[in-house]
Structure 1
Amino acid sequence: MLKGLRGRFRCIAPDFPGFGLSGAAKGYGFSVALRMPERIRGFIIGNIWAWPLERLGQKVFSRSMGGLIGRVLAWCCNGVVVFFMSKGVATGLEKRLLNMYLSLFRKRQARAPTNIFPNQLRAARAFLAEIYKGLPILSDKPALILWGEKDFAFQTPERLRFERLFSNHVTVMLPNAGHFIQEDSPDEIVAAIRRWFFHTRAGKVNESVEKQVDDEWRNENEIGQPSNCAMVSQAGEKIQGKYLSRSGSKNRRRLVENSLC
């Protein structure tokens, strides 16, 4: 994905505390967008949530993997990471890639975050409530919602909620992607980001720009046009077997006659 975007964008891959190759600095937080909304131009949202967990299955998962079961699995066999990667990648993960993810947690003392994280899905309810309360500050920002249809964790209810929160959104469904959409559908995601960015900057659909972006993407990566995603809107207008629309404008223009991806 970085290779496909680096020619047009400044790409930063953050080293998340407890899950990267570097130690975490003191005093880090997770609310920069709410503290400095003027510095945020838009959002790309993918299979996530931003409010206290409500569904029973999510709470059970948090209590089990974030409790004694998760601690034992993490200590004995890196079980939490193995579970996440096996369930979260719908197309299957090559052994070398799985080993790359596991390599960060070879030592038992490094595995604590893999148990703490699922615990915090439920335990951080007050923090998540604060985040959700502040989202109206950001709701006028353009948003690209990328959603894996085979996610075991976050599904249609979460996607619909984000679509209601961000009225000026474009949603791209990824039929073959699970929770880790970057592993299942990287080419489709890159194509969607490029299109969305240029549409957002132009403020309207421009078919010549659309074709130029497509051509550049194919030439740079020497691949055919991705075919595994479909556009979805709040209205759910179905065109030629795919869902297409663009929200946030007076006239819901069709972006193109066929799927954007």
Structure 2
Amino acid sequence: MSVARATQLPADVRLEYPFASHELSLRSGATMHYVDEGAGPVVIMLHGNPTWSFYYRNLVKELQAAGFRCIVPDHIGCGLSDKPEDYNYTLKQRIEDIEELIDYLGIEHFSLVVHDWGGAIGCGVAGRRPEALDQLVLLNTGAFLSKRIPFRIAAIKLPVWGEFVIRALNGFAGPAATMAVKTPLKPAVKRGILWPYRSWRDRVAVWNFVKDIPLHEGHPSYATLREVELGLAKLADKPIQLVWGARDFCFSMHFHDRFRAFFPQSESQVYPKHGHYILEDGGREVWQQIVAFLSDSKGAR
């Protein structure tokens, strides 16, 4: 199904995202779409909400040219993956999905690049198998308990109302394409980011990601996120890079500083004029910073 969807991408989007499609039928019953490009040490890139593997397209091209194998899945409900109504849209399930992909591909060692929700998912995976993690790159994300949430997001977590705004009015993915950057996106890029989320049905995961933000102990994902946070201690001796847009209205510098407290030996690159979609605002300068960091110990495995 998702391979067929890939061929239906608009021509200008395909020029931006020229990758072959791959699929994995998960134990959950849903089919995950993923990109698998290049050869060499493995870098897994995990997107957040409301993006998809398209967000990493330029970094994939740079890393592939530098001698890396790039694995970039679309979380279930996102991008070119299945968008079921009855999937278990929780952090725990998403961590298990990525572990299933890693096992299916037979990957024994990998580095991670994570953004937004990809941080909690990726750090959850890494905390469960720290011996497999080589390096970690954190891009405007979080992987620990926090009650900090922008009002504009808190307002659409409300049941019924929030789902209507997000799924019927496109009141999350649509505004994010403008609010998450400080430099306006090119038309083809904006079209690419939004293409998978064009209808009520397509936005099922966009709503469920917002719904899954755990702000209190009674939330279904609270205990899972606490486990992810506790697992960060197992990663503290890894090479870690923070690449941060300081003008992010959601994952602000508070989140950057919390990560620095968890990982005091980490390398930090802060961009004062960039926003949440740091790979879009930062362009080649940011992509090359990440490539240089990952290349430092490429030959270690």
TM-score (norm. length: structure 2): 0.61
Provide the aligned C-alpha RMSD in A.
Answer: 2.4
Note if 1:18 corresponds to 2:86: no
Question: 1:232-257: CA deviations, max 9, x gaps?
Answer: xxxxxxxxxxxxxxxxxxxxxxxxxx
Displacement, 1:200? 4.7
What amino acid does structure 1 have at the position aligned with 2:154? R
Instruction: Identify the residue that residue 168 of structure 1 maps to in structure 2.
Output: 265
Instruction: Identify the residue that residue 155 of structure 2 maps to in structure 1.
Output: 64
Note if 1:3 corresponds to 2:70: no
Query: 8 Å contact 1:89–1:181 — kept in the other structure?
Result: yes
The 10-residue stretch of structure 1 (102-111 or 191-200) with the greater mean CA deviation from structure 2: 191-200
What amino acid does structure 1 have at the position aligned with 2:69? R
Query: 8 Å contact 1:62–1:120 — kept in the other structure?
Result: no
Displacement, 1:147? 0.3
Query: 8 Å contact 2:62–2:291 — kept in the other structure?
Result: no
Write out aligned runs for 1:87-102 (5 A): 87-102=179-194
Runs of 4 or more off by more than 4 Å in structure 1?
24-28, 200-203
From 294, 298, 301, the counterpart of 1:197: 294
User: Within 2, Cα distance between the matches of 1:192 and 1:47?
Assistant: 15
Identity %: 27
Instruction: Identify the residue that residue 237 of structure 2 maps to in structure 1.
Output: 140
Question: 1:121-152: CA deviations, max 9, x gaps?
Answer: 23432221111112111111110100001101
User: Within 2, Cα distance between the matches of 1:91 and 1:85?
Assistant: 11
Shift of the 186–16 alpha-carbon distance from structure 1 to 2, 3 Å rule, reads: farther
Question: 1:79-118: CA deviations, max 9, x gaps?
Answer: 2101222211111123332222222122311212111111
Aligned residues: 201
Query: 8 Å contact 2:135–2:294 — kept in the other structure?
Result: no
Shift of the 119–53 alpha-carbon distance from structure 1 to 2, 3 Å rule, reads: farther
Query: 8 Å contact 1:21–1:104 — kept in the other structure?
Result: yes
Query: 8 Å contact 1:37–1:137 — kept in the other structure?
Result: yes
Instruction: Identify the residue that residue 199 of structure 2 maps to in structure 1.
Output: 107
User: Within 2, Cα distance between the matches of 1:110 and 1:201?
Assistant: 38
Higher strand share: 2
Query: 8 Å contact 1:140–1:167 — kept in the other structure?
Result: no
Q: Partner of 2:72: helix, strand, or coil?
A: coil
User: Within 2, Cα distance between the matches of 1:105 and 1:171?
Assistant: 33
What amino acid does structure 2 have at the position aligned with 1:46? L
Instruction: Identify the residue that residue 32 of structure 1 maps to in structure 2.
Output: 125
Displacement, 1:34? 1.4
Q: Partner of 1:182: helix, strand, or coil?
A: helix
User: Within 1, Cα distance between the matches of 2:65 and 2:135?
Assistant: 19
Q: Partner of 1:193: helix, strand, or coil?
A: helix
Q: Partner of 2:73: helix, strand, or coil?
A: coil
What amino acid does structure 1 have at the position aligned with 2:71? I
Q: Partner of 2:65: helix, strand, or coil?
A: coil
Query: 8 Å contact 1:149–1:178 — kept in the other structure?
Result: yes
Question: 1:49-69: CA deviations, max 9, x gaps?
Answer: 1112222xx064443222244
From 145, 150, 166, the counterpart of 1:74: 166
Write out aligned runs for 1:39-54 (5 A): 39-54=132-147
User: Within 2, Cα distance between the matches of 1:70 and 1:83?
Assistant: 14
User: Within 2, Cα distance between the matches of 1:53 and 1:141?
Assistant: 24
Query: 8 Å contact 1:70–1:80 — kept in the other structure?
Result: no
Q: Partner of 1:184: helix, strand, or coil?
A: helix
From 233, 237, 247, the counterpart of 1:150: 247
- Could you tell me which runs of 5 or more consecutive residues in structure 2 were left unpaired when the two chains were aligned: 1-58, 96-120
